[in-house]
Amino acid sequence: MSHAPICHRGRAGYGSTPQAAQQSHLVSRIMRARQSTDAALERRLSAELLASVRPVIRCVVARSLPFAGTLSPEDLAQVATIAVLRTIASYDATRGNQSFGEVAYFRAKAACAQFVRLHASDVHVSDGEHKGRTVRSSTVTRGNTILIHSMDIPSHFSDGYRDDDDVVDELEAALRELSGRDADAESPELALIAAERRALVFEAVRRLAPEQRELVSRVYGLNRPAQSVRSIAEAWKAPKSRIDRMLARVLEELRAMLVPGKL
């Protein structure tokens, strides 16, 4: 898979009405196949859907590469693909005005940013406790590059998928956007959606207890350079496992506050 250095909304095509309608139809068919336990049909339709969002995946990879360190485009593409597959179960075409491609773009971008951060912090992907959930993965190290072979994937790929994982992904994407390091003016529509999301998350962070707010600010680089959980544990003279658990609780609390009607 080749990855263009620059991606444009029109070229990616995830705002295209005909393509959006086709993707929405495919998602509906995939869910029906899943409900009828027709794994072969689900795999075929999922492959067709992935082919239609390949420009979105290339766009996400191109935007992630400048911050990816030793990670290869193929590593990022695999992470983005998994995020797209996970979006299927929670996408609702009747809720809001975002196409599947737009939602998949945000989810894939958040997943790649999170993977890059974990890799840069020298934290193995399977040590996902600080995200508030268990991430199952098997990896092979090739030089300094970690290649993902499997993560949480819906339906017959994995029995451990949880719909609220998507809320966590969006929360962490918004936290990174608050720092200004992951801002994206891809289009006026997406910029408005991102701004609304940042405002909600900013208000939720403001309501946290001082120590919790400090931890979130350090991890996600709010008004300061971002720090790894390991470096925060050393600065606070606390076991890393304690900081992991604390961050997991904070993210869970933020997620609860961001449920519609809580803010």
Over residues 15-74, the pLDDT tens digits come to 557 888 888 889 999 999 888 988 888 888 988 998 889 999 999 999 988 888 888 888
Is a pLDDT exceeding 50 seen at residue 157?
no
Q: What residue type is assigned to position 239 of the chain?
A: P
pTM reported for the whole predicted model: 0.48
- What is the total count of domains within the chain? 1
Secondary structure of residue 105 in the 3-state scheme: helix
In a domain, 75, yes or no: yes
Distance (Å, rounded) from C-alpha 230 to C-alpha 241? 9
Both tokens of residue 140? 């092979």
In a domain, 155, yes or no: yes
In a domain, 262, yes or no: no
Residue 262 DSSP label: -
Q: How many CA atoms lie within 13 A of 134 on its CB side?
A: 6
Mean pLDDT to the nearest integer, 171-189 = 56
In a domain, 263, yes or no: no
Secondary structure of residue 58 in the 3-state scheme: helix
Where is pLDDT greater, at 67 or 198?
67
Where is pLDDT greater, at 199 or 26?
26
Mean pLDDT to the nearest integer, 156-179 = 50
Secondary structure of residue 187 in the 3-state scheme: coil
Sign of the dihedral defined by the CA atoms of residues 129, 149, 62, 85, in that order: negative
pLDDT tier, 261 (very low <50, low <70, confident <90, very high otherwise): very low
Which of these, 237, 240, 238, lies nearest to 229 by C-alpha position?
Answer: 240
Which of these, 128, 49, 60, lies nearest to 89 by C-alpha position?
Answer: 49
In a domain, 87, yes or no: yes
Helices (H), the chain: 9-12, 17-35, 39-52, 54-64, 73-87, 100-120, 165-178, 188-206, 210-220, 229-235, 240-257
Q: What is the model's pLDDT at position 176?
A: 64
Distance (Å, rounded) from C-alpha 94 to C-alpha 83? 21
Distance (Å, rounded) from C-alpha 153 to C-alpha 135? 10
Supply the range of the domain harboring residue 45. Answer: 9-257
What's the mean per-residue pLDDT of the chain?
A: 71
In a domain, 206, yes or no: yes
In a domain, 113, yes or no: yes
In a domain, 4, yes or no: no
Residues in the chain, overall count: 263
Is a pLDDT exceeding 50 seen at residue 212?
yes
pLDDT tier, 6 (very low <50, low <70, confident <90, very high otherwise): very low
Q: What is the model's pLDDT at position 133?
A: 41
Query: What is the maximal distance between C-alpha atoms in the chain?
Result: 56
